[in-house]
Amino acid sequence: MSRGRHSRGFSVVEIVVAAAIIVSMVTAAAGAWQLYLRLSNTSGRRTQAVLLSEEAAEALNLLRDRSWAKNIAALSLDTPYYIYWNGTTYATSTTPVTVNNSYNVYVTFGALYRDINKDIAGAGTIDARSRYATVTVSVAGNPGAKDLETQMLIHDIFQN
């Protein structure tokens, strides 16, 4: 009698519990998949951003090699300058330039201060032959959405 009743099929409670387990597992798997897609996309953008910021840092050195006075010292402090390859040379512009279809690369120069011993300090006299340069790679058209930000020092070593 007892065996016969068990073999008749599933009760509503059993079906509901089984369905709940299956649905929660599928939901968890879908969530994990979404996370994987998002992380994969982020890491792709980040690797591209690293290359672009390295290129911009090297381009700043090249601009410095050409002429510190014209290419670095002439630019205003604390103002973003978009840095790009115009087909024949590197140039800076205050209006946004999109590179590689979906990035903006800009550099912001900051003053470098030296203390009485000529050491770099938070305050003191401004060193006219040095700058802090912050290179930022951001989503094109959205300077606030930063992919990467790196800082470097640049000096007028050739006195040009």
Residues at the interface with another protein (CB under 8 A): 36-37, 40, 43-44, 47-48, 51-52, 54-55, 58-59, 61-62, 65-66, 85, 88-90, 99-101, 158, 160
Cβ-based neighbours of 75, under 8 Å, separated by 6 or more: 81, 92, 109
Between residues 61 and 151, which has the closer beta carbon with respect to another protein? 61
In the complex, minimum distance from the CB of residue 97 to another protein, in angstroms, rounded to a whole number: 14
Q: Which two tokens stand for residue 99?
A: 């590179």
Report, in Å, the least distance between residue 68 CB and another protein.
Answer: 11
Q: Measured from the CB of residue 65, what is the shortest distance to another protein in angstroms?
A: 4
Measured from the CB atom, is 84 or 109 closer to another protein?
84
Q: How does DSSP classify residue 70?
A: I
Beta bridge partners of 132: 110, 153
Biggest alpha carbon–alpha carbon distance for the chain? 102
Q: Give, as one character, the DSSP assignment of residue 157.
A: T
Q: Which is nearer to another protein, 27 or 125 (CB)?
A: 27
Q: Nearer to another protein by C-beta: 66 or 114?
A: 66
CA torsion angle 124 125 131 137 (round to 10): 40
DSSP state of 72: I
CB of 11 to another protein, least distance (A): 25
